[in-house]
Structure 1
Amino acid sequence: MSDPTALQELMGLFDLETIDADLYRGRVVRTTRPRVFGGQVAAQALCAGIRTVDPAYVVHSMHSYFLLPGDPQVPIVYDVERIRDGRSFLTRRVSARQHGRPIYYLTANFQVPESGLEHQDAMPEAGEPEDGTDLVALMRAGGTPEADALAKEWGALEARWVGSSKSGLPEDAEHPSRARLWLRVEGDLGDDPTAHLAAFTYASDISLLGATLAAHPVSPSETQMASLDHTIWFHEPFRADEWWLYDQVSPAARGGRGLALGRVFTRDGTLVATVAQEGLIRPRV
């Protein structure tokens, strides 16, 4: 059942305080984890960039780097730089800072919507979201050390696990490391497009690095994991409070790093976003 308090807390994260022109402050969630959830920083930075853009322009891509772990005890300041203001496209660069140092950089591109050539990949078979396994329960059963803390951070989200290369998905010789799950925000986000963009960006940081482990006999509890970068291409507007499939594949892992790609499909089969993330995947010692 939806937790109204968790949803209110999530939406409160996206309600940035204006400090000055193109300068904003975002609150953080108190947590027992040693760092701020990366999806929160990415979502707040995107909201800061959107604040400086005419509503006629819609974000179509964001590219970002996680530089330092965020401190969960102090707010984050977001400084927006107006890189480009064109007739069709706009570009914003956002620096997230704490303690006088940048912890995250985002570059976002915006476009006036227009028509053009269209095609998309077909949605893979994933069953119904209601038939999936609760992701947090699965993490607890697998001994993930941060499962309880993540359950609190993800309290406004519902994640239903479909399977991975280890279990639940058919063997695929071309893609040996895969994972698949259904996600949505529990509750009604309303009709503000920014709320859905921010909530999706927040949730897009869930489980991607886990896909890089799916080809190996290790678990997240045995692995030091941290996001290094995060990219999203937004293909079409959609509601983050309705089920969407996160189809994830890891093309390669080397040098203590793993790369994961995620295709995002709405329940009717529309490909609405593509996500890419590289992260640290180092055995715990």
Structure 2
Amino acid sequence: MSAVTSAVTSAPPKKHNEDNDQIDNNDFANSFLNLQELDMDLYLSQKTWKAPFARGTYGGLTVCHCLYAASETVPACFILHSMHSYFLRPGDPTNSTIYRVQRTRDGQSFCSRTVFAIQNGKPILTLQASFHKEQTETSTGLEYQPVMPVVPHHSGLLNMREYAISISNNHSFSEYTRQLINQWVSARGPNLKGEPVRKPVDPEKHFRIVPNSDYTLLTWFKVPGNLGDDQNIHRCAAAYVSDYSLLYAAIPSTGQNFQPTMTASLDHSIWFHRSMKADEWMLFEAVGTQMLNSRVLCHGRIWTGDGKLAATVKQEGLVRGKL
């Protein structure tokens, strides 16, 4: 453990103008947080997409929408501090989703909400969220945290799509790698308007060009647009990103021989520790810790640009494949 420190190496000369990362993207909030309020505690979303090898809708989007719907039902002084969810059924990426919020408890210091994400009359995800009135707490003056990984500055890195384009003419890669490349080169999936910009610290590991021997993926990210001062909005955006690379980090590192045929998140939890700005560059550290019976356990950490631990993530997932 260590006091708060920054572990970002000094910025090298930029390979490109980082402002261009947002040219093709609309504002994240307008693109992803535009839920329609149908009635009290009832919301509708049309936005969805499917990740490679996944059985259904991208789970991070469903979690993000659940959290946003829940935050709409609490007073502004209550800030999201934790959430726990179970993925029950694969979401249909061609169908809309209804979010039903249950006001579980309203207290003086904490509020609790339960949210059901529903398609075709059946829940695809259940989520419990807790909100804390942090300003009422008296600080003890004590603070400690782990040390942020030492990583290169984001300004010297290519984003996922730029890197995919740079290697797209190489046809010697595995089927898994080629599908990842095609996903990022095309205008589908994570190239949706408003999608967060991701810059992998180790892109060859992300695309499985080299073995991920330590089961770790490090990615800089930020969402396009200005999210304002509402911490719950920033935490919804961070939750959206938190589901993306966890299972990828946990895929068995046997070079290009192991081919995943299906991945699915089973549950997902996040603890938010401090204020964050998801519209500024943050680092997501994803680590696979164990695999048994096709289930993998992953954990993640979200760091601010100056080395503060903003959130901790845990997830169990299903990874099926063949050698």
Q: Which residue of 1 aligns with 2:179?
A: 144
- Counterpart check, 1:157 vs 2:192: no
Please say if residues 93 and 106 of structure 1, whose CA atoms lie closer than 8 Å, have aligned partners that are also in contact: yes
Secondary structure at the counterpart of residue 247 of structure 2: helix
- Counterparts of 1:162 and 1:265, CA distance in 2: 14
Quote the RMSD (CA, aligned, Å). 2.7
Which of residues 11, 26, 38 is equivalent to 1:19?
38
| Structure 2 unpaired stretches of 5+ | 1-19, 168-176, 207-212
Secondary structure at the counterpart of residue 210 of structure 1: helix
Deviations 1:57-110 (A, max 9, x none): 111001111111212222211111111222211111000001000001110011
Residue 97 of structure 2 aligns with an amino acid whose one-letter code is I
- Counterpart check, 1:124 vs 2:163: no
Please say if residues 165 and 179 of structure 1, whose CA atoms lie closer than 8 Å, have aligned partners that are also in contact: no
Secondary structure at the counterpart of residue 60 of structure 2: helix
Please say if residues 27 and 225 of structure 2, whose CA atoms lie closer than 8 Å, have aligned partners that are also in contact: no
**TM-score for both structures, normalised by structure 2:** 0.77
Name the larger-Rg structure: 2
Runs (4 or more) in structure 1 with deviation over 6 Å come to: 30-34
Which of residues 101, 104, 108 is equivalent to 2:125?
104
Structure 1 residue 239, shift from structure 2 partner: 0.8
1:90-239 to structure 2, matched below 5 A, reads: 90-113=111-134, 114=137, 115-116=139-140, 117-138=142-163, 141=167, 142-144=177-179, 146-147=183-184, 148=186, 149-153=188-192, 156-163=195-202, 176-213=214-251, 215-218=253-256, 222-239=260-277
Please say if residues 235 and 278 of structure 2, whose CA atoms lie closer than 8 Å, have aligned partners that are also in contact: yes
**TM-score for both structures, normalised by structure 1:** 0.87
Residue 179 of structure 2 aligns with an amino acid whose one-letter code is T
Structure 1 residue 243, shift from structure 2 partner: 0.8
For structure 1, which segment, 150-159 or 225-234, has the greater mean C-alpha deviation from structure 2 after superposition? Answer: 150-159
Greater RCO (CA < 8 Å, at least 6 residues apart): 2
The number of aligned residues is 278
Larger % of strand: which?
1
- Counterparts of 1:204 and 1:245, CA distance in 2: 11
Q: Which residue of 2 aligns with 1:172?
A: none
Deviations 1:5-30 (A, max 9, x none): 63346533312222222111122246
Residues 4, 164 of structure 1: CA spacing in aligned structure 2 closer, same or farther, 3 A cutoff?
Answer: closer
Please say if residues 252 and 258 of structure 2, whose CA atoms lie closer than 8 Å, have aligned partners that are also in contact: no
